[in-house]
């Protein structure tokens, strides 16, 4: 979203008479980038849809708390990431109760997901990404797929640029090791 | 690796239903409308509640504390150790009812017999009768 549009929307969201229209525009502008960020973490479309809805509900409910110190999109990314973590934690608790590993469950879901059309290589890569810890997975997705700048990632995740670079480097090494281990 | 898969490729692999984002926007608008309507209804209902209904739970709670207090007070007053004069009077009355002159030798004998002694006493009587 363009920074000028963000500023304009931030202003409109603070005023009660323009808030509703501005929020509708916000949904239109931000639903796609947030959806893909969430989908890369939860993988299934249905789960991504649920988390995205929860994200926008949280945004609507906490609009008064947005002071404009950070960019509107950054604030929304943070909410989306928190909602994603909350969703994954809930799923993890449920899978623990069934004595199963969440990552295994997610891989199985990916194989049977009608909204996934990747080939074996793509599946293998997704399995490798799923083997990463959640935070590292998020860093990898943001850098590798979205080519996001480290400074922007730092604002969203509240982690230093140096730590993010190291995290991405380790993630790439782990994924390479995972993929090549199976090939040879 | 980076040359093979980028964001666009990712979106190629992970599909979304047709018109998902358009439908999503409408879905969100409806949810926000519902939330606002529910919030307005709640405010209206809150304003319409009569004074007695608002304070009723507090009145019930106060009444409950009064009942508990009265019950505890009643239990404490009935404790026998707390009022020795009553106990002494009751014991005194019991002893006054027994007159020493009315106690016979047989009463003393019977009160000193245990189960075995009683059987022996009866058996001996029967034996003597038979004799």
For position A21, which CATH number holds?
1.10.1740.10
- pLDDT the model gives residue A104: 80
Domain count of the fold of chain A: 2
Give per-residue pLDDT as tens, B81-112.
Answer: 555 555 555 555 555 556 667 777 777 766 76
Say whether both A67 and A92 belong to one domain. Answer: yes
A113 belongs to a structural domain: no
Say whether both A140 and A78 belong to one domain. Answer: no
Say whether both A21 and A88 belong to one domain. Answer: yes
Q: Which of A101, A131, A164 is the last residue of a domain?
A: A101
- pLDDT the model gives residue B3: 44
Higher pLDDT, A85 or B13: A85
Say whether both A76 and A161 belong to one domain. Answer: no
Mean pLDDT of all residues in A159-174: 95
**Nearest residue in A to B10, CA atom:** A145
- Which residues does A contribute to its contact with B (CB < 8 Å)? 20, 23-24, 27-28, 31-32, 35-36, 39-40, 43, 45, 49, 52-53, 56-57, 60, 115-118, 122, 125, 144-147, 172, 175-176
**Using a CB-CB distance cutoff of 8 angstroms, which residues of chain A are in contact with residue B15?**
45, 115-117
Spans of all domains in chain B: 102-131
Cβ of B25 within 8 Å of Cβ of A28? The answer is: yes
Say whether both A172 and A95 belong to one domain. Answer: no
Say whether both A39 and A124 belong to one domain. Answer: no
A4 belongs to a structural domain: yes
pLDDT above 80: residue B4: no
Confidence band of A73 (pLDDT split at 50, 70, 90)? very high
pLDDT above 60: residue A18: yes
**Nearest residue in A to B22, CA atom:** A28
**Residue A20 burial (10 A CB sphere; 0-12, 13-18, 19+):** middle
Share of chain B above pLDDT 70, in %: 60
pLDDT above 80: residue A160: yes
Give per-residue pLDDT as tens, B32-88.
Answer: 888 888 888 877 777 677 777 888 889 999 999 999 999 998 888 876 655 555 555
A29 belongs to a structural domain: yes
Residue A163, domain extent: 118-184
For residue A154, which of A96, A93, A71 has the smallest C-alpha distance? A71
**pTM (whole model) above 0.80:** no
Cβ-Cβ contacts under 8 Å for B25 (sequence gap 6 or more): A24, A27, A28, A31
Cβ of B10 within 8 Å of Cβ of A40? The answer is: yes
pLDDT above 50: residue A5: yes
Say whether both A140 and A91 belong to one domain. Answer: no
**Using a CB-CB distance cutoff of 8 angstroms, which residues of chain B are in contact with residue A43?**
14
């Amino acid at each position: 979203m363009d920074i000028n549009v963000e500023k304009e929307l931030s202003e409109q969201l603070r005023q009660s008479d323009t808030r509703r229209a501005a929020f509708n525009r916000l949904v239109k502008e931000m639903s796609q980038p947030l959806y893909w960020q969430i989908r890369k973490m939860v993988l299934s479309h249905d789960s991504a849809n649920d988390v995205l809805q929860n994200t926008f509900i949280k945004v609507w409910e906490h609009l008064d708390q947005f002071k404009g110190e950070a960019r509107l999109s950054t604030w929304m990314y943070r909410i989306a990431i928190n909602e994603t973590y909350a969703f994954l934690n809930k799923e993890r608790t449920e899978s623990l109760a069934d004595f199963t590993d969440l990552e295994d469950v997610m891989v199985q879901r990916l194989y049977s997901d009608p909204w996934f059309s990747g080939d074996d290589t793509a599946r293998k890569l997704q399995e490798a990404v799923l083997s990463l810890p959640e935070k590292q997975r998020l860093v990898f997705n943001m850098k590798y797929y979205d080519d996001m700048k480290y400074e922007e990632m730092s604002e969203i995740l509240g982690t230093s640029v140096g730590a993010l670079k190291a995290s991405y480097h380790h993630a790439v090494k782990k994924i390479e090791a995972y993929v090549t281990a199976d090939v040879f | 690796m980076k040359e093979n898969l980028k964001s666009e490729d990712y979106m190629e692999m992970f599909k979304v239903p047709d018109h998902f984002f358009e439908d999503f926007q409408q879905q969100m608008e409806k949810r926000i409308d519902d939330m606002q309507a529910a919030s307005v209804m709640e405010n209206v209902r809150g304003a319409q509640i009569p004074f007695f209904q608002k304070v009723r739970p507090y009145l019930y709670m106060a009444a409950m504390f009064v009942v508990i207090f009265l019950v505890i007070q009643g239990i404490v007053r009935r404790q026998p150790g707390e009022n020795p004069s009553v106990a002494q009077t009751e014991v005194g009355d019991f002893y006054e009812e027994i007159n020493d002159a009315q106690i016979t030798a047989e009463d003393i004998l019977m009160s000193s017999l245990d189960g075995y002694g009683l059987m022996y006493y009866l058996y001996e009587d029967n034996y003597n009768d038979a004799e």
